């Protein structure tokens, strides 16, 4: 794991060696960004998935909504397409204001960046909630998506990012 050598100093601050807990670092956002430049995407996805499922962080739907707000239009569309594919047309149409994502043929239509700009963070939170209940593996899908967009992950907050880094530190 040569990538781990490149980030060893960072992750050692999060490992909690000896006491089992780590003190809060000064800038977990920058540490996360530095790790994301070296670590493989699957490592980052695992860390995010762990964070989304942690009882020490806000709910998965809430964190997804926050990241949606921090995303650019293309990223928003990508997230919405992932959530919509998990939900399917019937569940999607049951969320207020999202009926327009289901085409006349009854199929989920691909979300464009333009359409994504018409969706509110609250609707995304509802989508993520429905999707997680329908298919818990959506957490892993969204984790894989945002592992490729580490600049957006800062929207989940420093404490949640610290949990993700601690997960990476345990891989040593």
1: which 2 tokens?
Answer: 């794991």
Question: In this predicted structure, what is the pLDDT of residue 18?
Answer: 43
Name the CA dihedral angle for 121, 125, 131, 132, rounded to a multiple of 10 degrees.
140
Divide the 172 residues of the chain into consecutive groups of 10 and give the mean pLDDT of each group. 76 64 68 91 96 97 98 96 91 86 82 93 96 96 96 94 91 71
Residue 147, classified by CB atoms within 10 Å of its CB into exposed (0-12), middle (13-18) or buried (19+), is buried
Query: What string of H, E and C letters represents the secondary structure of the chain?
Result: CHHHHHHHHHHHCCCCCCCCCCCCCCCHHHHHHHHHHHCCHHHHHHHHHHHHHCCCCCCHHHHHHHHHHHCCHHHHHHHHHHHHHHHHHHHHHCCCCCHHHECCCCCECCCCHHHHCCCCHHHHHHHHHHHHHHCCCHHHHHHHHHHCCHHHHHHHCHHHHHHHHHHHHCCC
Question: In this predicted structure, what is the pLDDT of residue 154?
Answer: 92
Residue 159, classified by CB atoms within 10 Å of its CB into exposed (0-12), middle (13-18) or buried (19+), is middle
Question: In this predicted structure, what is the pLDDT of residue 104?
Answer: 77
Question: In this predicted structure, what is the pLDDT of residue 25?
Answer: 60
62: which 2 tokens?
Answer: 């809430």
The Cα–Cα gap between 138 and 94 comes to 18
The Cα–Cα gap between 111 and 108 comes to 9
Gyration radius of the chain over CA positions: 17
């Amino acid at each position: 794991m040569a990538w781990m050598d490149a980030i060893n100093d960072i992750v050692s601050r999060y490992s909690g060696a000896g006491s089992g807990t780590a003190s809060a670092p000064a800038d977990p956002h920058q540490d996360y960004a530095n790790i994301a430049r070296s670590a493989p995407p699957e490592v980052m996805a695992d860390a995010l998935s762990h964070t989304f499922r942690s009882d020490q962080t806000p709910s998965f739907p809430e964190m997804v909504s926050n990241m949606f707000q921090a995303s650019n239009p293309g990223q928003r569309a990508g997230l919405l397409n992932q959530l919509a594919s998990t939900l399917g047309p019937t569940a999607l149409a049951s969320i207020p204001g999202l009926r327009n994502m289901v085409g006349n043929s009854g199929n989920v239509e691909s979300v464009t960046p333009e359409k994504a700009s018409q969706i509110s963070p609250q609707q995304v939170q509802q989508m993520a909630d429905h999707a997680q209940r329908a298919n818990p593996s959506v957490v892993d899908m969204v984790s894989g998506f945002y592992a490729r967009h580490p600049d957006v992950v800062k929207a989940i907050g420093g404490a949640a990012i610290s949990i993700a880094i601690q997960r990476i530190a345990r891989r040593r």
